[in-house]
Amino acid sequence: MSIFVLVHGAWHGGWCWEKITPLLHAAGHTVNALDLPGHGADKTPLAELTLENYVDKVCKIIDAQPAPVILVGHSMGGMVISQAAERLPDRISTLVYLCAFLLQDGQSLFQVSRGQEESIITRNLTIIESGKAMVVAPDVVREAFYEDCSAEDAGKAASRLAPEPLAPSSTPIKVSNEGFGSVRRVYVETLEDKALAPALQREMYAATPCERVISMKTSHSPFYSAPRDLASHLMSL
């Protein structure tokens, strides 16, 4: 059986995996769906949030496991799992990028996403907290994140979104072939994604090739719209 560590994306929390976790558990796998600092139940102050402390928390959980893990990152969580793999390549069996930012050395999330006109997110961001955080305009949240999800799931998820600090997404990652590059990579692309355009997803995994690319005909949140299919893909690894 496998050990999964699930890393959510921007604005979300470990709660977004609530339909995936029981499916993996039922199949006998161990699952850790964490809250990054400042997200979900973690109340780290906004001013203290950095890419480094995101990675610190993920690495602490990885280090506590009895065997190498399958590390899954959704969306913004992609840059976090890449940086974690640079630190702990021998503790990770597979990196899974779920419609996620697969960055190259020296790139930041903002650098790669800048000018992404196909994304509803980039056109509907508001900066708050004196320039320290950002939120997505409420009237586009459903279309951007949960367009193919049930009204119940979409409404519940939207009510739990939190401001996302700017600092982590503006920080370039630092990875090498010897660290991050030595870990097996899989990409799960979402073909009807309006948050992270499919074209950009393809561009990223073409620049940093993965052992396998899995295609899902969903929006940006297959953990809600197609949980059984997503869980099946994860277990196939």
Q: What is the DSSP letter of 68?
A: -
Q: 182: domain CATH number? A: 3.40.50.1820
Domains in the chain, number: 1
Per-residue confidence (pLDDT) for residue 131, from 0 to 100: 87
* Distance separating alpha carbons of residues 12 and 176, to the nearest angstrom: 28
Q: Single out the residue of 75, 73, 76 nearest to residue 85, CA to CA.
A: 73
Gap between the Cα atoms of 232 and 23, Å rounded: 9
Tell me the pLDDT tens digit for each residue of 72-102.
999 999 999 999 999 999 999 999 999 999 9
pLDDT tens per residue, range 6-43: 999 999 999 999 999 999 999 999 999 999 999 999 99
Q: Which domain holds residue 50?
A: 3-235
